[in-house]
Amino acid sequence: TQLLEQSPQFLSIQEGENLTVYCNSSSVFSSLQWYRQEPGEGPVLLVTVVTGGEVKKLKRLTFQFGDARKDSSLHITAAQPGDTGLYLCAGVTDSWGKLQFGAGTQVVVTP
Amino acid sequence: KAGVTQTPRYLIKTRGQQVTLSCSPISGHRSVSWYQQTPGQGLQFLFEYFSETQRNKGNFPGRFSGRQFSNSRSEMNVSTLELGDSALYLCASSLTGTDYGYTFGSGTRLTVV
């Protein structure tokens, strides 16, 4: 059972379009991380959000942490083919070294 | 600085055999966590080591074990391999295991036939 539910599972869009990925949980996390993973590689950390209501921007990517620290979203503006990948959200738990991952959202951006 | 190095990148083993995977963390990082990634279950936490001690363990059978050396390098071992053990095994290093800076290696792709 995934404590973190990601939606949608798959997203296919054209270059230049916008997209939003959601990460929801019934649990409160002290912080939440977003990763992007490409085939055959390990996840690469994009951002960590810590404070409820926090918004962080990374170029064309905007990350938001819900006020209650139970949900988060990732919005990509004017997507490019280089944004293609598996986007994973992960909750930071109180257990040493343990991240609680969502199932991931596969994003495909076609030229 | 060098990233997290996992060896080997690919491995093919037969059912019943055992396998050892290696992970060298970022210099100065003392925490190493291991994860199993499969299409059906996603990323599942295996265990975490800090200063040669296992501090945390996920819900995997005892066939999965690990250790950490004094230089923070870590190994994980899987004995009596089963077909369902086929997966991408990832390690992540961090300074303390309780901070926000986790860096993952590229993983070891294990195929059990």
Neighbours of A84 (CB within 10 A): 17
Please compute the mean of the pLDDT values over residues B17-42 and round it to a whole number. 95
Residue A44 with chain B: CB contacts under 8 Å: 104
Please compute the mean of the pLDDT values over residues A104-109 and round it to a whole number. 97
Please compute the mean of the pLDDT values over residues B101-106 and round it to a whole number. 91
Please compute the mean of the pLDDT values over residues B4-17 and round it to a whole number. 98
Q: Is the pLDDT of residue A25 over 60?
A: yes
Average pLDDT, chain A: 93
B56:A96 CB<8 A: yes
Interface of A with B (CB under 8 A): 2, 31, 33, 35, 40-45, 48, 50, 88, 90, 92, 95-104
Q: Are A51 and A67 in contact (CB under 8 A)?
A: no
Q: Are A9 and A88 in contact (CB under 8 A)?
A: no
Please compute the mean of the pLDDT values over residues A79-104 and round it to a whole number. 90
* Predicted local confidence at residue A29, as pLDDT: 86
Q: Is the pLDDT of residue B90 over 60?
A: yes
Band (A98; pLDDT cuts 50, 70, 90): confident
Measured distance CA(B60)–CA(B43) in Å, rounded: 13
Q: What is the pLDDT of residues A34-55, one digit of tens each?
A: 999 999 899 999 999 999 999 9
* Predicted local confidence at residue B47, as pLDDT: 94
Please compute the mean of the pLDDT values over residues B41-64 and round it to a whole number. 94
Q: Is the pLDDT of residue A58 over 70?
A: yes
Say which of B32, B45, B104 has its CB closest to residue A42: B104
Measured distance CA(B85)–CA(B31) in Å, rounded: 24
Q: Is the pLDDT of residue B101 over 80?
A: no
A101:B102 CB<8 A: no
Average pLDDT, chain B: 94
Please provide the distance, in angstroms rounded to a whole number, between the alpha carbons at the two ends of chain B.
37
* Predicted local confidence at residue B1, as pLDDT: 58
Q: What are phi and psi of B85, to 5 degrees?
A: -80, -10
Q: Are A22 and A7 in contact (CB under 8 A)?
A: yes
Measured distance CA(B105)–CA(B26) in Å, rounded: 10
Looking at the complex, report in whole angstroms how far the Cα of residue A32 sits from the nearest Cα belonging to chain B.
Answer: 9
Least confident of A18-27, A62-71, A94-103, B8-17: A94-103
Enumerate residues 33 to 92 of chain B having a beta carbon within 8 A of any beta carbon in chain A: 33, 35, 42-43, 45, 48-50, 55-56, 58, 90, 92
A31:B100 CB<8 A: yes
**Phi/psi zone of residue A2: left (φ > 0), alpha (ψ -120 to 50 degrees), beta?**
beta
Residue B6 with chain A: CB contacts under 8 Å: 42
Three-class DSSP labels, chain B: CCCCEEECCEEEECCCCCEEEEEECCCCCCEEEEEEEECCCEEEEEEEEECCEEEEECCCCCCEEEEECCCCCEEEEECCCCHHHCEEEEEEEECCCCCCCCEECCCEEEEEC
